[in-house]
């Protein structure tokens, strides 16, 4: 059957045609936007953390008893933690925990004189001698800290003077130049630290990741406590350590009175928190998309079934005039494809409109991606073809004799 | 009538596959619509809804002229001085209550349970009446105990430290000091923490202590506490330590709720508003209240409606659900057309045998009603599942850090709402079915019987 005849048939059944176009357009609008949002989330998920997420643990505790000597408590805690068979190493954590910004976000400058110097968001770790090992950092240039460079003490303690920075941060701050021996300046106080080494990139910071500099990291040999009531630790455990370690640690911490244990978790959990909001939105949109696809398929099955029944005689005559089963099937599929095509074009514009609307109302936008858009369009088109195929196949079974008998 | 039903049931059975297709299609749409609309509806609900129009949050804007109020929930709490002035004003109301948001560590006297951090309020005795706080044991403290070492704890605290037994008369440590428990409240139905204007659905009060006791114990001021710029450097000190300096500072920390009588609501509100206007005008002459809008008495209903505006994601889901339900209705039309197309001969026969057009319409409307009814019942059942799934998504989104029983309140089936929605859905399905019914009823007698 020629395209001209198929177009004539479409025009003859205007209401069915409009319904199919409408369904396909709405479906594409919903599914494509869900796909864009999900894809954006997936892209976040797929950023390699380079982190041993099931081997590094965060511990956050609050000391509320002012009588407790925090320095001694840290020593007792570390001794008890390190005595556990699953624990490889552990450090007191005076600044951030892994993907868990604690007191406030941290920034670093490469210049302390220029007031307009750009600040660079970083993940900052103040650790003791087991810190580098506990974070499982690999030194890529320069050296690790010397034992005599570590400082420990309360809030009045003089800061350390050296630092390790990540390769990515080194590139950002010093571009092609060597970072070794350079000075970086920390936060508003512009406390200077000399870079003695760099480490391979790891996703370590919560704020840094939100600022899209997931590999910006800096480690300083400072185990300073008493800036607030938190006493936090970063613990490295052996591979394949079970979740039981979390309860073991919590129980251990509660053996000391005067404190609350707020968090004992694998860093995988901290990483999950990064995208909770977006990913849950993506989950729901994904589910709604699946429902939209299902409903549209059911709708097309129903409408094509009706269309075929309406044209029962015509199809029979067509068969009597020598059209093969495959010709009938093909004409019905082409007819539906043309309708789907119109729906997809309309859906394309509706998708762009919805994308903008989501940005304005929610501040959430899955940036339209051409490949994702094409894949979704193809998928919706294939699904409509399949939905049309089911009743169309039945139409091919109409026997020519049935129609000729009736007439 | 009986024959109509029999014929309608026969109609349901005929072309069974298409009937099932129609029910499945409708159930999917109804499930999604009921799930999302219930979520949005419950999001704007509160146990205080019945008196939300009479309850007002009282705010005076003492802040610097460049202070910007970003939304209705950021009007400053009262400073101590302004709160005293309001307390001493000659106004009529049902209740006037002041509270501040605090948090502290709760510990067992017997050391038989782990300590816990409590989100709590320091308040006066009117707090319990204003927020309709239900008690399972004991009662609020007496007027005479307003400066005593007493505390009201929530059921969750009672379960944690006293295994759910009646703990009234026993002691619990608050930041290392022992307070006597006078009552155990149950806030499990209070889905939002309204008293501190946060409207949080993650945690509610776990304890309430008398304001004077909290001040004496120096329990920290934890919530929203805006200070004039000149006070900004002292804010940390005011929060944690220096309550006496805070009392004379331009820092608001006292959330103030005023509840008017239902009968004289408008007159009492007008009087309170007039007082606020006069007071701020008088104070403006002394150099305070530089803003044009010097006072604000927002009623709770407005705040609840306003808060519902923040449910942007849920509203997007709901819009999509409406769209998908519209597609389901379109599908219903398509399926009914397909289903009735094969009934042409039968209907033609009915008509030839004397059935009127109206009789044919009635058969098919009953048939659609039966299908719609089945779909709505199934839709309500599946919406339970939908709400449970959305509850799980919500807990995931909050990283399981919220009180699940509180969050669950937003994902429970509201049968009253489901019934009303069901009626609308039924009407929508029936309207969608009118066109196919009109077509099938228009078949002339014997027109289809030739072949």
B427 interface with A at CB cutoff 8 Å: no
Decide if B334 and A310 are in contact by the 8 Å CB cutoff.
no
Q: Strand, helix or coil at B249?
A: coil
Furthest-apart CA pair in chain B: how many Å?
100
Question: B-contacting residues of A 43-62, CB under 8 Å?
Answer: 62
- The residue of chain A nearest to residue B104, with distances taken between CA atoms, is A64
Q: How far is A129 from chain B (nearest CA, A)?
A: 32
The reply to whether A121 and A39 lie within a common domain is no
Interface test with A, best of B102, B324, B436, B447 (most A CBs within 10 A): B324
A264 interface with B at CB cutoff 8 Å: no
Question: For the residues B44-51, what does the mean pLDDT come to?
Answer: 86
Q: What is the bridge-based pairing of β-strands A259-266 and A106-109?
A: unpaired
Q: How far is B290 from chain A (nearest CA, A)?
A: 32
- A302 belongs to a structural domain: yes
Q: What is the predicted pLDDT for the residue at B447?
A: 63
Decide if B327 and A65 are in contact by the 8 Å CB cutoff.
no
The reply to whether A220 and A71 lie within a common domain is yes
Q: Which of A257-271, B21-35, B303-317 has the lowest mean pLDDT?
A: B303-317
Reported confidence tier of residue B339, pLDDT bands at 50, 70, 90: confident
* Residue written as token pair 């925090």: A70
Reported confidence tier of residue A402, pLDDT bands at 50, 70, 90: low
Model confidence pLDDT, tens digit, residues B98-111: 999 999 999 999 88
Q: How far is B239 from chain A (nearest CA, A)?
A: 14
Q: How far is A196 from chain B (nearest CA, A)?
A: 37
- A87 belongs to a structural domain: yes
Interface test with B, best of A230, A291, A297 (most B CBs within 10 A): A291
- A246 belongs to a structural domain: no
A284 interface with B at CB cutoff 8 Å: yes
* Residue written as token pair 């029999």: B6
The reply to whether A314 and A169 lie within a common domain is no
The reply to whether A205 and A61 lie within a common domain is yes
Residue A9 pLDDT more than 60? yes
Residue A385 pLDDT more than 90? no
Question: For the residues B440-450, what does the mean pLDDT come to?
Answer: 74
Of A188, A215, A240, at which residue does a domain stop?
A240
Question: For the residues B144-156, what does the mean pLDDT come to?
Answer: 96
Burial of A320 (0-12, 13-18, 19+ CB in 10 A): middle
Percent residues over pLDDT 70 in chain B: 99
Domain boundaries, chain B: 2-44+311-441, 50-300
- A352 belongs to a structural domain: yes
Decide if B321 and A288 are in contact by the 8 Å CB cutoff.
yes
Decide if A302 and B328 are in contact by the 8 Å CB cutoff.
no
Q: What is d(CA B341, CA A153) in angstroms, rounded to the nearest whole number? A: 86
The reply to whether A224 and A281 lie within a common domain is no
Q: Strand, helix or coil at A185?
A: strand
Q: How far is A44 from chain B (nearest CA, A)?
A: 16
Q: How far is B168 from chain A (nearest CA, A)?
A: 25
**In A155-201, alpha helices (H):** 167-174
How far lies A4's CA from each of A16, A283, A319, A396, in Å?
18, 44, 19, 21
CA-nearest of B411, B383, B381 to B398 is: B411
Decide if A309 and B338 are in contact by the 8 Å CB cutoff.
yes
Residue of A26, A259, A302 with shortest CB distance to B338: A302
Decide if B334 and A299 are in contact by the 8 Å CB cutoff.
yes
Residue A407 pLDDT more than 60? no
- A299 belongs to a structural domain: yes
Residues of B in contact with A310 (CB under 8 A): 341
Residues of A in contact with B337 (CB under 8 A): 302, 306
Of A222, A240, A258, at which residue does a domain stop?
A240
| Mean of pLDDT over chain B | 92
Residue A405 pLDDT more than 60? no
Residue of B115, B320, B327 with shortest CB distance to A260: B115
Query: Where would I find the beta strands (DSSP E) of A238-311?
Result: 259-266
Residue of B117, B342, B393 with shortest CB distance to A309: B342
Interface test with B, best of A14, A299, A361, A392 (most B CBs within 10 A): A299
Q: Which H or E run includes A295?
A: helix A276-310
Q: Where in the sequence is the domain holding A183, given as residue range(s)?
A: 56-240
Residues of A in contact with B342 (CB under 8 A): 309
Model confidence pLDDT, tens digit, residues B51-84: 999 999 999 999 998 888 888 888 999 999 999 9
Contact partners, residue A318, CB within 8 Å, separation at least 6: A1, A327, A328
Determine contact, residues A344/A381, Cβ cutoff 8 Å: yes
Highest mean pLDDT among A77-86, A333-342, B3-12: A77-86
Residue A289 pLDDT more than 50? yes
Of A240, A260, A290, at which residue does a domain stop?
A240
Specify the long-range contacts of residues B4-10, CB closer than 8 Å, at least 24 apart.
Answer: B4/B359, B4/B362, B4/B363, B4/B366, B5/B366, B7/B363, B8/B363, B8/B364, B8/B366, B8/B367, B8/B369, B8/B370, B9/B367, B9/B370
Question: B-contacting residues of A 340-369, CB under 8 Å?
Answer: 358, 361-362, 364
Total domains, chain A:
2
Determine contact, residues A318/A328, Cβ cutoff 8 Å: yes
Q: How far is B332 from chain A (nearest CA, A)?
A: 8
A7 interface with B at CB cutoff 8 Å: no
Decide if B328 and A295 are in contact by the 8 Å CB cutoff.
yes
- A270 belongs to a structural domain: no
CA-nearest of B300, B203, B211 to B253 is: B211
Decide if A361 and B316 are in contact by the 8 Å CB cutoff.
yes
**Higher-confidence position of A405 and B372:** B372
The reply to whether A91 and A226 lie within a common domain is yes
Question: How many Cβ contacts (< 8 angstroms) between chains A and B?
Answer: 116
CA-nearest of B397, B254, B410, B302 to B71 is: B302
Q: Which H or E run includes B172?
A: strand B171-174
Give the strand order in the sheet containing A56-63.
A87-93, A230-237, A56-63, A259-266
The reply to whether A42 and A97 lie within a common domain is no
Reported confidence tier of residue A77, pLDDT bands at 50, 70, 90: very high
**Higher-confidence position of B146 and A314:** B146
Decide if A406 and B328 are in contact by the 8 Å CB cutoff.
no
**Higher-confidence position of A366 and B60:** B60
Residue A178 pLDDT more than 90? yes
The residues with which A57 forms a beta bridge, in sequence order, are A235, A266
Model confidence pLDDT, tens digit, residues A10-67: 777 787 888 888 888 988 888 888 888 888 777 888 889 999 999 999 999 999 998 9
Residue of B313, B320, B397 with shortest CB distance to A30: B320
Q: What is the predicted pLDDT for the residue at A307?
A: 79
The reply to whether A192 and A287 lie within a common domain is no
């Amino acid at each position: 059957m020629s395209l001209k005849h198929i177009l004539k048939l479409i025009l003859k059944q205007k209401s069915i045609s409009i319904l199919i176009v409408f369904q396909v357009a709405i479906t594409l609008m919903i599914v494509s936007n869900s796909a864009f949002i999900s894809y954006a989330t997936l892209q976040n998920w797929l950023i390699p953390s380079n982190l041993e997420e099931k081997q590094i643990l965060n511990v956050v505790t609050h000391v509320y008893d002012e009588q407790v000597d925090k320095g001694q408590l840290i020593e007792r805690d570390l001794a008890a933690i390190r005595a556990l068979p699953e624990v490889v190493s552990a450090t007191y954590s005076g600044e951030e925990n892994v993907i868990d910004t604690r007191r406030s976000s941290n920034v670093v400058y490469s210049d302390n004189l220029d007031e307009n110097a750009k600040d660079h968001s970083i993940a900052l770790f103040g650790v003791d001698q087991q810190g580098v090992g506990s974070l499982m950092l690999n030194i890529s240039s320069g050296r690790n800290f010397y034992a005599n460079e570590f400082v420990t003490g309360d809030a009045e303690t003089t800061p350390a003077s050296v630092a390790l920075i990540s390769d990515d941060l080194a590139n950002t701050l010093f571009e092609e130049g060597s970072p070794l021996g350079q000075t970086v300046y920390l936060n508003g106080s512009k406390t200077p630290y000399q870079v003695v080494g760099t480490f391979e990139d790891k996703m370590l910071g919560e704020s840094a990741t939100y600022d899209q500099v997931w590999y910006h990291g800096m480690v300083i040999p400072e185990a300073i406590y008493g800036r607030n009531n938190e006493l936090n630790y970063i613990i490295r455990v052996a591979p394949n350590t079970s979740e039981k370690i979390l309860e073991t640690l919590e129980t251990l911490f509660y053996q000391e009175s005067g404190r609350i244990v707020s968090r004992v978790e694998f860093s995988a959990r901290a990483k999950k928190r990064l995208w909770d909001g977006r990913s849950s939105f993506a989950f729901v949109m994904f589910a709604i998309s699946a429902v939209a696809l299902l409903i549209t398929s059911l709708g097309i099955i129903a409408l094509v079934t009706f269309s075929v029944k309406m044209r029962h005689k015509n199809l029979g005559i067509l068969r009597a005039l020598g059209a093969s089963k495959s010709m009938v099937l093909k004409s019905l599929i082409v007819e539906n494809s043309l309708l789907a095509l119109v729906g997809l074009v309309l859906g394309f514009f509706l998708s762009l409109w919805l994308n903008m609307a989501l940005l304005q109302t929610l501040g959430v936008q899955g940036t339209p991606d051409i490949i994702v858009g094409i894949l979704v369009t193809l998928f919706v088109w294939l699904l409509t073809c399949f939905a049309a195929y089911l009743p169309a196949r039945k139409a091919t079974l109409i026997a020519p004799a049935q129609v000729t008998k009736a007439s | 009538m009986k024959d109509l039903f029999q014929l309608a049931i026969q109609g349901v059975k005929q072309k069974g596959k298409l009937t099932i297709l129609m029910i499945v299609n409708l159930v999917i749409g109804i499930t999604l619509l009921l799930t999302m609309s219930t979520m949005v509806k419950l999001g704007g609900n509160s146990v205080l809804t019945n008196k939300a129009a009479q309850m007002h949050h009282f705010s005076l804007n003492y802040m610097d002229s460049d202070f910007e109020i970003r939304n209705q929930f950021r009007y400053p709490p009262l400073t101590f001085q302004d709160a005293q002035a309001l307390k001493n004003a000659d106004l009529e109301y049902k209740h006037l209550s002041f509270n501040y948001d605090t948090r502290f560590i709760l510990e067992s006297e017997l050391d038989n349970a782990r300590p816990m951090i409590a989100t709590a309020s320091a308040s006066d005795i009117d707090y319990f009446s204003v927020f309709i706080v239900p008690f399972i044991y004991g009662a609020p403290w007496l007027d005479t105990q307003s400066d005593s070492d007493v505390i009201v704890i929530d059921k969750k605290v009672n379960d944690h430290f006293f295994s759910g037994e009646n703990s009234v008369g026993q002691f619990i440590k608050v930041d290392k000091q022992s307070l006597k428990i006078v009552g155990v409240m149950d806030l499990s139905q209070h889905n939002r923490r309204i008293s501190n204007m946060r409207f949080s659905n993650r945690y509610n009060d776990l304890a309430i202590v008398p304001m004077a006791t909290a001040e004496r114990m120096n329990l920290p001021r934890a919530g929203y506490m805006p200070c004039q710029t000149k006070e900004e450097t002292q804010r940390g000190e005011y929060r944690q330590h220096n309550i006496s300096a805070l009392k004379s500072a331009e820092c608001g920390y006292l959330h103030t709720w005023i509840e008017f009588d239902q009968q004289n609501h408008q007159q009492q509100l007008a009087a309170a508003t007039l007082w606020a206007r006069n007071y701020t005008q008088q104070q403006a002459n002394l150099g305070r209240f530089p803003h044009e809008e010097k006072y604000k008495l927002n009623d709770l209903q407005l705040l609840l409606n306003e808060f519902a505006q923040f449910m942007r994601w849920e509203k997007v889901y709901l819009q999509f659900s409406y769209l998908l339900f519209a597609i389901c209705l379109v599908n219903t039309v398509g399926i009914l057309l397909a289903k009735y197309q094969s009934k042409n001969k039968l209907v033609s026969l009915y008509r030839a045998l004397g059935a009127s057009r109206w009789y044919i319409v009635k058969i098919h409307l009953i048939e659609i009603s039966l299908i719609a009814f089945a779909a709505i019942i199934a839709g309500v059942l599946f919406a339970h599942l939908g709400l449970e799934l959305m509850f799980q998504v919500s807990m995931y989104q909050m990283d399981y850090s919220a009180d699940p029983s509180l969050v669950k309140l937003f994902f429970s089936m509201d049968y009253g709402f489901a019934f009303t929605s069901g009626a609308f859905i039924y009407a929508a399905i029936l309207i969608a079915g009118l066109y196919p019914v009109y077509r099938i009823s228009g078949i002339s007698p014997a027109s289809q019987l030739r072949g």
